[in-house]
Chains A and B, each alone.
Chain A
Amino acid sequence: MTAQEYNFAYLDEQTKRMIRRAILKGLAMPGYQVPFASREMPMPYGWGTGGVQVTAACLVPEDRLKVIDQGADDTTNAVSIRSFFQRTAGVAVTEATADATLIQTRHRIPEAALTEDQILVYQVPIPEPLRFIEPREVETRKMHALEDYGLMHVKLYEDIARHGQIATSYAYPVQVEGRYVMDPSPIPKFDNPKLSDSPAIQLFGAGREQRIYALPPYTKVVSLDFDDHPFVASKAEHDCDLCGSDASYLDEVIVDDSGGRMFVCSDTDYCGGRVALGHRGRLSPARAEDAA
């Protein structure tokens, strides 16, 4: 059902216009946090109000929308946002990465390579990468303006001093085109290399913090590191227990009360696609039948 009492994609046209202007400004200055007048959305802050507004401003009736939550298409956040846009915009939806023209994501970048015809929208809780080490907004803005980014490395230094390695494993800070230091939203650092040189447009929306930033296609994005402690895109040292993939980011799932665990692809579409192609993992039902 398309609720006729709503404007297309919920937001009114003036609001979408305002958000599009912020997006264009963000694309013109990759990595720069553009303030925008974030609206109250019919969902709580932290559920992706920023991403939803960016998606609403970008959607056209011909779009095919995919929504990811931690890599999965079938978790609460993904299901509710998908049905929200089905109701208010009446757009087609899909779970297949390759079929989607607009993908809203929370905490992951799809495993499948993106194309020039796609827009990837991230939900961002805290857009300011310097926030936890410098609480004053006036000061962090000045630091961005003056490219005063020594503090970011202090954070990484502290990691190594305390843990023996850079222990930051998600929301790993990056520098965009040698200029702005940016928070890539809480994606695992395994996904960081995919930010760079991506053919798709990448948009970041933070609703509560009222910031939008963007990466145009083919933007150079470098993860910060030390010469003697280089950046490593780490993942669990296992293969997927369902599809056997050794190249995808894995979730660890506790399966019983005696410490049994399994590792599965966090990207459900990728994993399902591989299983359909006949790939099998350690705990695949097919294997279980073989054994029985």
Chain B
Amino acid sequence: MSGRKIFAENFSDEAQTKEEFSPKILGSAEPLLRVQLLTKLYGTRIGCADVSFDLYPGEVMGIVGESGSGKSTLLSCLAGHMAPDAGSVVFQTKAGPRDTVTMSEPERRMLGRTDWAFVHQNPRDGLRMGVTAGGNVGERLMAVGARHYGGIRAKATDWLGRVEIAADRIDDRPSAFSGGMQQRLQIARNLVTGPRLVFMDEPTGGLDVSVQARLLDLLRGLVRQMGLSAIIVTHDLAVVRLLADRLMVMKSGRVVEQGLTDQVLDDPQHAYTQLLVSSVLQV
């Protein structure tokens, strides 16, 4: 119990330091997402415990940690795919702040296809493999009421272009695409409705390094250009170094350290973070 209390205190310290500089840097005092003491248990085992943080508009946050540290559980709880056992996830909707944990399922689904986006590690989980690329990109548009074929198609073409997929591939199915293209298609499909918050679960996992680099470049461009907020779960420190403003390190379901990315990576305080940073192979 005392250990949990110390963690909680750490968070409040963090929150204070952040509130001091956030408004100046980002020009907005209202957090887009405020997570408080989020806990998910699998029976008696901990999925993630007492996670608290604020995410401000335009901010990209990385969550790193080893396999089984609760990163994906946390992300699923945040995105509403899984119901947490305790805690709150308050999202700044267009109508004001709402706790997405207690929100009704239809409202959460609506958020899931308008203001939120979720990029899966495996594009097969996020795409409809039997539907053409254009249909995949258009699905979210049609789900929110677009009923003009020409308009949907024009928007799909535009988005394929933005993720560097040739326009003449619009009527091909994703199964005819390479892994990198599938991942870019998944990103287009998610960003087409102009979400404000993107959840990404290992977006570069399973891709070779040159394709990874291109994808990261693309993601960084899109995030900056659209002013997106994003939460990126990964075990690849290079990815967070490149994309994330802030970093949260998880171990055994708990957050052991959080702060500015460069600060955490260059001057790790917690023993586990030090181990993690020193484990990266230098080329």
Residues of A with Cβ closer than 8 Å to B?
Answer: 133, 146-151, 153-154, 157-158, 160-162, 225-229
Contacts and interface: CB of A to CB of B under 8 A. Distances in A.
Contacts of A153: 142, 147
Interface string B132-151: 10110011101110011111
5 contacts: A133-B131, A146-B109, A149-B143, A150-B142, A150-B143
Interface string B150-194: 111100000000000000001100000000000000000000000
A135 to B, nearest CB: 10
A177 to B, nearest CB: 18
Interface residues of B, number: 25
A161 B148 contact: no
B106 interface: yes
Given A157-B134, A161-B134, A161-B135, A150 B148 contact: no
Contacts of A158: 131-132, 135
Contact of A150 (B144, B149, B150, B170): B144
B217 interface: no
A162 B134 CA distance: 11
The 9 residue pairs across chains A and B that have the minimum distance between CB atoms: A150-B143, A153-B142, A226-B149, A150-B142, A227-B148, A146-B106, A157-B135, A154-B139, A154-B135
B150 to A, nearest CB: 5
A169 to B, nearest CB: 18
Given A154-B139, A228-B151, 6 more contacts: A148-B143, A151-B139, A154-B131, A157-B134, A157-B152, A227-B148
A161 B147 contact: no
Contacts of A133: 128, 130-131
B135 A228 contact: no
A164 B142 CA distance: 18
Contacts of A162: 132, 171
